[in-house]
Structure 1
């Protein structure tokens, strides 16, 4: 018997409809079974919160100190090696107000010693040094500050754990691991950097940035919201004062304890700050950083060095005498 052509065509069309319909249904079923992307609960890791948005990137750095021209020496010889560009906001403010900024770099001049540089300097700035100061250099710096020279030490988390040891006899403090903050501090300046770094988990801030406000001392004048990245906490004792303190809710990385922490301190002719990033061009105008930089510049040029009052650096004769020994850094 011969097949009906119309029946064959109908059967073929039915098969096509079934196959096409099944194929069209597959994406629908698949899309219904695909789980939705997981939502992160940690606000500090959200892309929209990756950068601080505390203030517009504008402002100006003003100096109020009415000081005669001074010479500020920046340490580039103990491993930190900051460049003029990396701290340009501070350098530019000083130069614009008639002061001179020089860099101490014994690699560029093998005959140069720190004590030789201090003889002609009015202030000395060191940023996160990584190499230890010699006994002669420490004695020279102590004589320098005793004579009225200004000393500023800036830290960062990479070096904060060892800065107390690097400065050894200068700050004269136990290292960060030697005891709690109640440990008796019998040093000349009674200030030190502690281990770890500070951070905030506030959703409006970058994870490793903290807000700091002025407490006591000239460094904190007019500072209500300085933005410090990876700041190291500091500890003070005796006559030293806390110049800047972080906001409540700040966490210390080594203890995971929340609170308000000192991030800058000063005593007499010496000041320390647990951060150096605020000097960078990208951070200089965040929050009240330009006010802090202006205060720092004023501190550097406000000393009154009296060379005749500087004690002489101890000498040691014979081979192996430390570089700069016997040189009174406060004067010839």
Structure 2
């Protein structure tokens, strides 16, 4: 009997301890569960952190009135990967869901204004043969060089290029071609070709991503970027604010300008310190932007991203590059022949035909 009284007393004490603890930590609801504790992460509960969860309408327009241009886009596809029947599908055109780089707003704007958009996907066998050539052997242009010779502008996502390809990109810029380089915070910094591309074009990147806990678009990594005091008017026309979903700081090593910078309160993930480092820069014929997702259809509707995309399209086609004519892709190796019939590469009358096409 004494054992039963002892167990009963212990049960009462235990029950009192449980109910007393519940009274201290919070009341028990009707279904027997205590309410969830308040979230302590400010960036999830701050009302100012979510500025507007309703996208606007994207209207990507171009202002440049130029001859039809060819814009070559390198989506950074590995040569060993599966390539769709139409390379344009890699840019989201015609095959939603398989896009490697969904830049439809930019590509559509170029196409609608009479320009050509080409996609560069190297052939793995030809690429291997070129790289396996013995040292000192005479080499022709790489696959990329052949495509650049036919292009007026070039867009790349910081692909890992070899030394020969870097020389061809440098020559392309020196001949007046315009280049846009878009990178990401998680881009590999151990790829020598990607890092060397920065040096070739006179641009830089920093590790980490920019975030803003106080003022952002939907979440703290989707930062606002504003034109800087020295910004390029052609690139910032109509842009009060842009949204970069995942941005890394960029810069220039030669004379250039900071075009867009993060808004006040932005910080860098690697230091947790405030940052004013630019997110989009320009140096002559090269634009470097620390994000690529802002080009996608859903992000083109945020803030003034559509105006920024239209300005970048104008930048690509307002270049000083002279279009190569028939037979002009390779430099002459000797004196020209005196008579024309034996040289069918440029028959008489081509000049007027080209002028009509350009018009």
Same fold (TM over 0.5): yes
Q: Is the 8 A contact 2:254 2:283 kept in 1?
A: no
Post-superposition offset of 1:134: 1.1
**Structure 1 gap segments, 5+ residues each:** 1-25, 173-187, 314-332
Q: Is the 8 A contact 1:160 1:196 kept in 2?
A: no
Change (3 A) 1:239 1:274: same
Name the structure 2 match of 1:321: none
Change (3 A) 1:104 1:204: closer
In structure 1, how many angstroms separate the alpha carbons of the residues matched to 2:38 and 2:323? 65
In structure 2, how many angstroms separate the alpha carbons of the residues matched to 1:159 and 1:242? 21
Instruction: Give the secondary structure class of the aligned counterpart of 2:187.
Output: helix
Name the structure 2 match of 1:233: 249
Instruction: Give the secondary structure class of the aligned counterpart of 2:300.
Output: coil
In structure 2, how many angstroms separate the alpha carbons of the residues matched to 1:144 and 1:128? 16
Bigger relative contact order (CA 8 A; separation at least 6): 1
**Is it true that 1:88 corresponds to 2:88 in the alignment?**
no
Name the structure 2 match of 1:144: 172
**Is it true that 1:213 corresponds to 2:226 in the alignment?**
yes
Post-superposition offset of 1:189: 4.2
Name the structure 1 match of 2:272: 256
In structure 1, how many angstroms separate the alpha carbons of the residues matched to 2:277 and 2:40? 27
Paired residues in the alignment total 269
**Structure 2 gap segments, 5+ residues each:** 1-18, 84-88, 93-101, 128-141, 332-359
TM-score, normalised to structure 1, is: 0.71
In structure 2, how many angstroms separate the alpha carbons of the residues matched to 1:263 and 1:142? 23
In structure 2, how many angstroms separate the alpha carbons of the residues matched to 1:194 and 1:153? 14
Name the structure 1 match of 2:208: 196
Name the structure 2 match of 1:326: none
Structure number with greater Rg is 1
- 1:72-87 equivalences under 5 Å are 72-77=71-76, 79=78, 83-85=90-92, 86-87=102-103
Post-superposition offset of 1:46: 4.4
Q: Deviations over 1:256-276 (max 9, x none)?
A: 111322001111111110000
**Is it true that 1:121 corresponds to 2:151 in the alignment?**
yes
Name the structure 2 match of 1:302: 318
Root mean square deviation, CA, Å: 3.4
Instruction: Give the secondary structure class of the aligned counterpart of 1:90.
Output: helix
In structure 1, how many angstroms separate the alpha carbons of the residues matched to 2:242 and 2:265? 16
